[in-house]
């Protein structure tokens, strides 16, 4: 077919713009924060031990990447660009529209689990440095803190909740974020993928990321003999009273590209996402509500914090999620209901319920009617 000279020339060319290996960890579609460009990430195993970060700016190739990962097919990527890597020395692989993914017969080494997707035990996690990726853990939830917290991230209020996870080697604190809150139950076991480590005061803990997947599993091995894990939490107290002041803010997030919308006019029917630029119905944006209320009980006014999951949970139960379109709708509802039953831990509301008015107002009426009926009956007799 081709002469040896020509083949040599091709090889030189290949060194520059082609790379072979196995595809790992194909990510979801992401949108660049600055320029709004769509891309996805993957890892390319380029030798037995080495992995390179890959960024692909061609959405139509994502299916082929996913297929190659699933089948563990050796591949050759053509017309790639080598970019200086953030983690020094090595290079990252950039693929564009002209890049081709070709399945080849072999690459001279075999498929191997990437360090990023390897399963880690809790004692291994504790020994890791901060800001490292944790591929998979299989754990039992041994404690979920009662109260969640709202923290500000890039101008938006995001909810976070602490829980503790355990396996045969120990337990680690896990920080849950937004959508993952309420997904795990104490005493249940889960397989979690794509977490990350953080460090606080010398101890390592785990945090979920926007790529985290949580799947409930059968009880993890040895769970019955796990050390009983106790976390001392402040007492939860229940009060009955009314809400006299409220300030509830609703943050909106694009469900397509996950961008927080810093400006949002809920009075109009449609809103254009500030990042992905897609025009969408206003109610298609994900709402996160939080704020504070002044709660009055026996002339004692308490300033309380209310988190998104508490508000959402209440509105969901009452079939009033539509109120979330605007903070003032929620505020007005909180002020309109006469009597509330709130459970608080320190000054954070952990549950809010409407006290049924039937209990006080309808009883005397019922009695009156019953009395009148009885009178009527006796008259007739
Ligand atoms: Zn968007």
- Structural domain ending residue among the three candidates 225, 245, 272: 225
Residue 368 covered by a domain: no
Is residue 4 very low, low, confident or very high in pLDDT (cuts 50, 70, 90)?
Answer: very low
Residue 381 domain flag: no
Q: What global pTM score does this model have?
A: 0.74
User: How high is the pLDDT of residue 35?
Assistant: 77
> Quick one: 94 and 143 in the same domain?
no
Last residue of a domain, one of 49, 82, 103: 103
Q: Is the pLDDT of residue 361 over 70?
A: no
Which of 125, 145, 143 lies closest to 133, judged by CA? 125
pLDDT at 2: 45
Same structural domain, 244 and 314:
yes
- Asked if pLDDT for residue 376 goes beyond 50, the answer is no
Q: Where residue 62 sits, what CATH number does that domain have? A: 2.40.50.140
Over residues 136-147, the mean pLDDT reads 95
Q: How far, CA to CA in Å, does 222 sit from each of 119, 126, 219, 225, 226?
A: 17, 20, 8, 6, 7
Residue 274 lies in a domain: yes
Tokens of 302: 């308490």
pLDDT the model gives residue 23:
96
User: 12 CA distance to ligand 1 centroid (A)?
Assistant: 42
Q: How many domains does the chain have?
A: 3
Query: Mean pLDDT throughout 87-110?
Result: 89
pLDDT tens digit string along 166-185? 999 999 999 999 889 989 99
Ligand 1 centre to CA of 37 (Å) is: 11
- Mean pLDDT, residues 92-111: 94
CA of 288 to the centre of ligand 1 (A): 16
Residue with tokens 């709130």: 342
Question: Residue 186: pLDDT above 80?
Answer: yes
370 pLDDT exceeds 90? no
CA dihedral over 162, 191, 133, 16, signed as positive or negative:
negative
Rounded distance from Cα 256 to ligand 1 centre (Å):
5
pLDDT > 90? residue 343 = yes
Distance from Cα 21 to the centre of ligand 1, integer Å: 33
| 372 found inside a domain | no
- 53 and 23 assigned to the same domain: yes
How many A from CA of 323 to the centre of ligand 1? 22
370 Cα: distance to centroid of ligand 1 (angstroms): 60
pLDDT tens per residue, range 26-83: 988 888 877 778 999 999 999 998 999 999 999 999 999 999 999 999 999 999 999 8
Q: Which residue has the higher pLDDT, 272 or 372?
A: 272
- Tell how far the Cα of 31 is from the centroid of ligand 1, in angstroms: 8
The residue with greater pLDDT, 308 or 358, is 308
Please, which residues have CB less than 5 A from ligand 1, an ion? Answer: 254, 256-257, 259, 273, 275-276
CA distances (Å), 308 to each of 18, 257, 361, in order? Answer: 48, 21, 31
DSSP string, 114-171: -GGGSB--HHHHHTSPTT-EEEEEEEEEEEE-S--EEEEETTEEEEEEEEEEEETTEE
CA-CA distance, 133 to 195, in Å (whole number)? Answer: 6
Amino acid 217: pLDDT:
95
- For residue 362, how far is its CA from the centre of ligand 1 (angstroms)? 49
| Sign of the alpha-carbon torsion through 187, 190, 196, 197 | positive
Segment 292-301, tens digit of pLDDT: 999 999 999 9
349 and 243 in one domain?
yes
- Helix count (H) and strand count (E) of the chain? 6, 22
Q: State the average pLDDT for the chain.
A: 88
| Ligand 1 centroid from CA 27, angstroms | 17
pLDDT at 195: 95
123 Cα–ligand 1 center, Å: 39
Of residues 6 and 250, the one with the higher pLDDT is 250
CA 262 – ligand 1 centroid, Å = 12
CA of 227 to the centre of ligand 1 (A): 45
CA 142 – CA 246 distance, rounded (Å): 35
Contacts of residue 205, Cβ cutoff 8 Å, sequence gap at least 6: 172, 173, 174, 175, 197, 198, 199
Size of the chain in residues: 381
């Amino acid at each position: 077919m081709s002469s040896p000279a020509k083949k040599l020339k091709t090889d030189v060319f290949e060194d520059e713009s082609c790379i072979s290996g196995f595809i790992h960890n194909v990510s979801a579609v992401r949108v660049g924060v600055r320029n709004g460009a769509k891309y996805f990430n993957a890892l390319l195993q380029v030798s037995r031990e080495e992995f390179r970060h890959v960024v692909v700016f061609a959405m139509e190739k994502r299916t082929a990447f996913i297929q190659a990962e699933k089948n563990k097919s050796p591949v050759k990527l053509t017309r790639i660009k080598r970019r200086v890597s953030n983690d020094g020395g090595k290079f990252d692989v950039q693929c564009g529209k002209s890049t081709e993914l070709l399945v080849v017969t072999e690459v001279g080494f075999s498929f191997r689990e990437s360090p990023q997707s390897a399963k880690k035990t809790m004692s291994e996690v504790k020994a890791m440095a901060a800001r490292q990726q944790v591929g998979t853990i299989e754990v039992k939830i041994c404690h979920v803190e009662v109260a969640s917290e709202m923290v500000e991230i890039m101008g938006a209020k995001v909810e976070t909740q602490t829980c503790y996870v355990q396996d045969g080697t120990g337990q680690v604190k896990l920080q849950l974020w937004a959508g993952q809150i309420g997904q795990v139950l104490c005493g249940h076991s889960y397989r979690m993928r794509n977490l990350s480590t953080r460090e606080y005061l010398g101890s390592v803990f785990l945090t979920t990321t926007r790529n985290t997947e949580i799947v409930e599993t059968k009880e993890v091995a040895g769970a019955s003999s796990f050390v009983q894990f106790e976390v001392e939490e402040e007492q939860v107290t229940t009060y009955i009273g009314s809400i006299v002041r409220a300030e509830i803010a609703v943050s909106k997030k694009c469900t397509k590209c996950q961008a927080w919308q810093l400006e949002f006019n809920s009075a109009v029917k449609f809103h254009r996402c500030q990042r992905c630029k897609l025009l969408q119905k206003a109610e298609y944006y994900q709402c996160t509500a939080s704020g504070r209320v002044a709660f009055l009980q026996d002339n004692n006014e308490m300033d309380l914090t209310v988190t998104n999951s508490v508000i959402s949970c209440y509105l969901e139960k009452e079939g009033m999620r539509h109120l979330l379109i605007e903070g003032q709708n929620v505020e007005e509802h909180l002020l309109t209901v006469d009597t509330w039953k709130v459970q608080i831990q320190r000054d954070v509301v952990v549950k809010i319920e409407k006290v049924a008015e039937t209990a006080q107002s309808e009883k005397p009426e019922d009695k009156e009617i019953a009395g009148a009926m009885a009178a009527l009956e006796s008259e007739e007799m």
